[in-house]
Each structure stands twice: as C-alpha cells, then as structure tokens.
Amino acid sequence: MTNDRFSRQSFLGEGAQEIIENSIIGICGHGGGGSHIVQQLAHVGFQHYRIYDGDIAEDSNLNRLVGATVDDCRRETRKTTIAERTIKDLQPDAKVKVFPCRWQDQPEPLRGCDLIFGCVDGFAERRELEACARRYLLPLVDIGMDVHCVENEPPRMAGQVILSVPGEPCMFCLGFLNEQVLAREGERYGDAGSRPQVVWPNGVLASTAVGIAVDLLTDWTRELRSVVYLEYDGNRNTIKPHVRLQYLPTSPCPHYPANQVGDPAFRTSMAAG
C-alpha cells in the first residue's frame, strides 16, 4: 500500500500500521453493528479478516446493514459476501475468510485470530462467545444495542461496548451477564424476535469499538490499561463508562479460571479410598 493512504493516521505511532496490517481480526455477526465495524477496519487498513454470519440480506436489513444494496436483497446475497465486497473495495489484497454460518459451527479459524469483535444477538450468544475468547486467550470487543418500548413514554435506546480481556473482569464480573437475564432469555427459547434496530446507534457503538481495538493493538493513547465497559444512552446521545466499573472486585475473575484454557479434555480421577 502507498504511504499516502495512511499518512493521516501516522499519529498512531511508528510501527502501528504494520501491527494493524499483520493482525488477524475475527468478526462474529455482520449485521447492523458488524457491518459498520468491517467497513471501518477496512478503511483503517486491516488486512486479515475472519467473518461469520449465516444470514442473507433482506429488505428489513436495509435500514442499517452497511454496504448492502437493494440488489443484494433481490439476489439474497449472503451477508458475508457483502462483508468481503466491502473490504476488497478498499483493500484488494486483504485476506478475507468468510464463514456463512454461526461461529460455533466452525470455531477453529476464530480461535486463530488476534482479536475478535462480538456483534451477536442475545445474552446467551455473548456468553458463549466470551467463554470461547477466555478459553483461547482472545481479547473480545462486544457491542450491542436495544430499544425498549415503555408504555406512555418515548422508547428508551441503550447500548454497550465492552472490552473483555482474559484475566481481567468478564461480562459476569461487570454484571452485564447474570443468571437472571440468561434465564429470562432462555424462557423465551432464546428468541430475540424482531428487535428494533437503526443505523446511527450501531455507528456510534461500532466506531467506539474500532477505536478501542486500534488502541489495544497500537497503544497509541498509552492510556488503555483496564477493562472497558461503556454504556450508550441513545435518547441523550451520550456514551460513558458504566457506573458498575466503580464497584469491580479487585480479585481475579472467578468465572474463567486461569487454568481453564485450551481444548477441553475430560480427566477421570479415582478418589482415595
């Protein structure tokens, strides 16, 4: 690539562009959030992608699926195809591996990444992705948004950006995941339903997530030194650290012990008689 293309981001530091170009990025979900992330990563200059999504483009996606066209919906284009096209239009030499399925169906390439973005629906999906990230020592940047309809009041738009780094507080430690929300979701048989979704909060969250990822990789701010949990208020247009960060335990994360890494294996043991 020419030096001109990235001259405006030289403030990221010497060697930063090389780190960016050599990092393998996994993106789970190429929907409203993931499509923003993919586009921005391509602009920044990332060259190695592994993208998972089992869906095709539909009319109802067009209000927010970055890169999707009317023609894509007519042709029932896979979302991963749209992702690859978005990237290649900016980075023709990028190595893009697409998986038109859930990441759980082909997890090995995801584990080989350097950093992953979680743009999935639902708490159970997030739990599973974080469990994999912890087991294979992968940093995970998770984004999500929701709109809650409240009787006789304007809807409430909210979202989150979470950076989960192995050894550091996890989504359970942060209180974002807990048995209650997982149970409630389980009782609905995990059906996220047709949740309200629009483009601009996805843009806010995705941009923030990309910024966090670039900082984690390049350390250009020299300030990112602890867990990130940002809450987005779409009604007030604010994004700020979640209040729960003030109450984090100082002990290591108990949910993902340090020795629970690698491919699982069962070991039988005989108790002493």
Partner 1 sequence: MSVRCRVPEQLYRRVREDLARSHEFAAERVGFLSARLGNRVGDESLVLFSGYHAVPDDQYIDDPRSGARINATAIREAMQRVLDTGDGLFHVHHHAHAGRPGFGWMDRRETPRIVSSLQVAGPDQAHGMVLLSNDFCIAHIWLPRAQKPVVAQRVTVVGYPLQFFDAEGE
Partner 2 sequence: MPEGCSPAQVDALLCPTAHHGYTSRLFLAERISSPQSRNWSTDARILERTWYAISWKFEQSNLRLAQILALQLRAFR
> In the complex, which residues of this chain contact partner 2 (CB under 8 A)?
104, 107, 124, 128, 131-132, 135, 179, 182-187, 189-190, 263-264
If the CB atoms of residues 235 and 260 are measured against partner 1, the closer one turns out to be 260
Secondary structure class of 224 (helix, strand, coil): coil
Instruction: Name 105's Cβ contacts closer than 8 Å, sequence gap at least 6.
Output: 99
Longest dimension (CA), the chain: 73
If the CB atoms of residues 155 and 254 are measured against partner 2, the closer one turns out to be 254
Neighbouring C-beta atoms of residue 219, cutoff 10 Å? 15
To partner 1, the closest distance from the beta carbon of 140 in angstroms equals 11
128 binds, among partner 1, partner 2, none (CB under 5 to 8 A by kind): partner 2
Q: What are the Cα distances from residue 68, in Å, to 124, 146, 181, 197, 268?
A: 27, 21, 32, 15, 51
If the CB atoms of residues 71 and 187 are measured against partner 2, the closer one turns out to be 187
To partner 1, the closest distance from the beta carbon of 185 in angstroms equals 28
Dist CA 172 CA 182 (whole Å): 11
The β-bridge relationship of strands 156-164 and 228-233 is antiparallel
Binding stretches for partner 1 (CB under 8 A) = 19, 22, 108-109, 111-112, 114-115, 135-139, 165-167, 215-219, 224-226, 252, 258-263, 265, 267
185 binds, among partner 1, partner 2, none (CB under 5 to 8 A by kind): partner 2
